[in-house]
Structure 1
């Protein structure tokens, strides 16, 4: 009898808190643009995938502090967040238009505006470690989806060795390199035009490289600068340095 009463009470408590939390749910936490990651994971042009579902790649929301930060792969935009009478949340950025955020099921939806289409965000399966800069959760999830697993060098320096790109930006098995970063947006994107690029370095010294991803194949080219010394760099694929195949 006691068990049943206890069970009934706990069920009632769960139902009541369920109702309460449903109406007072806040969009607190980190939200990543999973649709952009899923599109990239199909193994095509990275930046086209991000542009198709972006431009916002991550939101970090703290309603208690009234703060919301968005990340577009290049820069952070900080705004003030407050609940609207209609139940949505408005993010006001100093000197620019506001963004509307709504919770729909387990998604955070950014309404369409002058700055972009409607965009959908989900909580990351693995949040970035505490203290990591905003944008890290998206980048880690993207790096895992786009370059995760084992790759074999089928052509180029280190042929036959296995390469692993880690979600934290470290890389093993790629001769002469210990870290990498994919170009998502901003200056590096402007410099490489329609081509995807990545940064490869060892001991904090590195260079940009142009890459082409087609399914299970990743070609990495030396980046040749076609611009004059006084112009912004204009990077194009030069000599092919590596061909990697996904195991």
Structure 2
């Protein structure tokens, strides 16, 4: 009888331990889905990123104590410290440490001296394991912001069907077979209040200003108001294309 009782108590004890909070591995790629969702509404791109950023993607390798992030123009490498009371600390050389924690399926970056609290979700995009930092976010953003089919309402190639692919390819837009969205950094400084993108044909291209308003996308020639020895200051010139997204 005593043996049976002891076995029952041991079973309950072990069962209770098994049902307790398990250690969770935060390794993987995490993207700022809130910024992507805001951008997908079809407004100003950089305003959407700034309102929910500034960081866009984390790549974490807990086994090797690495935690790196990008804000669109710089890659920052950090050392991941072991979990303590549900919080991982990322030590970044020359900067204040950053705290990460899990809230359900979200990775939460705690508010810091200059950054607000931000949330990230695991990337569901199937890319190569050695894809550069930020690639997962860019693929997801391009799909949400420019995905689907567009129709050239006016401009060269009027009537064409245009497709912006997540990997940076583009079809249907004359004189362009590749594009890149400006997210931050020098290109953002050069275009100021305007959104900009790079259009390229066989490694020869130029910056353009664009305005997104719901289902309409206007692409303008980029003119420069800076002096020759100054950083370019781009502003919209002649409208080259008006595209409309098909339902």
Fold conserved (TM > 0.5)? yes
Residue by residue, what CA displacement relative to the aligned partner does 1:190-217 show, whole Å, maximum 9, x if unpaired?
0000100001101111110000000000
* Separation in 1, partners of 2:85, 2:154: 58
Q: Classify 1:66/1:16 alpha carbon distance in 2 versus 1 (closer, same or farther; 3 Å).
A: farther
Residue by residue, what CA displacement relative to the aligned partner does 1:41-91 show, whole Å, maximum 9, x if unpaired?
000000000000000000000011000110111111000001242220111
Unaligned runs of at least 5 residues, structure 2: 1-14
Q: Determine the structure 2 residue equivalent to 1:4.
A: none
Q: Determine the structure 2 residue equivalent to 1:5.
A: none
Q: Classify 1:86/1:246 alpha carbon distance in 2 versus 1 (closer, same or farther; 3 Å).
A: same
Which portions of structure 1, spanning 4 or more consecutive aligned residues, are displaced by more than 6 angstroms? Answer: 15-18
Q: Determine the structure 2 residue equivalent to 1:175.
A: 174
Give, in angstroms, the shift of residue 131 of structure 1.
2.4
Matches within 5 A, 1:1-247: 19=19, 22-247=21-246
Q: Classify 1:93/1:170 alpha carbon distance in 2 versus 1 (closer, same or farther; 3 Å).
A: same
CA contact (8 A) 2:82 2:88 kept: yes
> Which shows bigger deviation, 23-32 or 41-50?
23-32
CA contact (8 A) 2:149 2:245 kept: yes
Give, in angstroms, the shift of residue 128 of structure 1.
2.6
Residue by residue, what CA displacement relative to the aligned partner does 1:26-52 show, whole Å, maximum 9, x if unpaired?
211000000000000000000000000
SS of equivalent residue, structure 1 residue 159: coil
TM-score, scaled relative to structure 2? 0.91
CA contact (8 A) 1:30 1:127 kept: no
TM-score, scaled relative to structure 1? 0.91
Unaligned runs of at least 5 residues, structure 1: 1-14
